[in-house]
Amino acid sequence: MRVPVASALVVPLLIAACTSAPRQPLPPPGTPPPVAPQLEQDPLAAYPELLLLSGHATDLRYTPDALDRAAQVQRRLEEMAEVFQLIAGDPVRLEALVLDRAAWAKLLPERAWGLPALTLPGVFAVAAEGDEESVRRVRALTGGWLPPLPGTPFRGTADEAAALAAADTLLQLGVARAFLEDRQLRGEEPWLSALLAQLLARVTWERTDAGQMHLVADQFDRMAQVAGRGQPLRLSDYQLGLPLAEDLAWEAAFLRGADLAWVEMGEGRALRYLRYLMRARAVVTREELEKEVPALAAWAYASFVPEIPPNP
């Protein structure tokens, strides 16, 4: 008898499922049942007043009337999760909050409205909409500049939409950094961790902002110029967890270093390298990274107060 193709595929799977675990008899009468395993609590359950938008690899809690903004942020995070899974080798789920002004004031009263804020571990909050304050806050970081956007925004003014776009650029770097920290991929020196986060963000920007990397770099250049105030930077002085304005003085340089690595390595090799480091639980040294990307030695020498001359 011919077995249909579908049946031919299903039967071995059913057999495998039935035989994969050894059969065990029930314990004697009166034996207490085993303790049920504790399910991992959803950290976003702390926000019951928010609606849920669940995607393939993302969960977004959002305030009512912010579905369009939540969907926009979700598309960005879905692309990032796909890249993260290539590195981690296992499923990655990203979570975020999309809050209107009232919810932000209630849940995050001490955080700057309009800029991404890390709330729960690995969970960022973003503004559901732009307004005059968020535009002023972004302009203060960039020296008055806002990214040019094509077309007419679905909601709000062009400046308000541009302020959201600039904030999402910061969100993307923050999510990349939080992912590497969660997976304990770090450098021997803090600046190496920041550079690796920029490299990961560089790969994801190629997917979420295809053809717009020059605008991303321009934004960081402008923010670094405002934040740096012309002060020379020494790599050994960099620390993780700096206040945003201070951290931005470094990020444009780290972005350029990550760009050198991305150009030299290409996306595939960069992802394989990050995956190797994550699996090996390796702490990256400067020597190892410069061996992988020789151009970084000259970049570090030219971009910061010289400490070690580049290899000839």
Q: Where are the domains of the chain?
A: 45-183, 186-312
Among 25-29, 120-124, 244-248, which is the least confidently predicted range? 25-29
> pLDDT: is 208 or 152 the higher one?
208
**Residues 283-304: pLDDT tens digits?**
999 999 999 999 999 999 999 9
* Mean pLDDT score across all residues of the chain: 87
Q: What burial letters (b/e) apply to 175-214, b meaning 16+ CB within 10 Å?
A: bbbbbbeebebbbebbbbbbbbbbbbbbbbbbebbeeeee
- Is 244 a residue whose pLDDT tops 80? yes
Count Cβ atoms within 10 A of the Cβ of residue 16 and give its class: 0-12 exposed, 13-18 middle, 19 or more buried: exposed
Give 44's pLDDT tier (boundaries 50, 70, 90).
low
Q: How far apart are CA 44 and CA 96, in angstroms?
A: 8
Is the predicted pLDDT of residue 45 greater than 80, yes or no? no
Q: Tell me the whole-structure pTM to 2 decimals.
A: 0.83
Q: Give residue-wise pLDDT tens across range 131-182.
A: 999 999 999 999 999 999 877 777 789 999 999 999 999 999 999 999 999 9
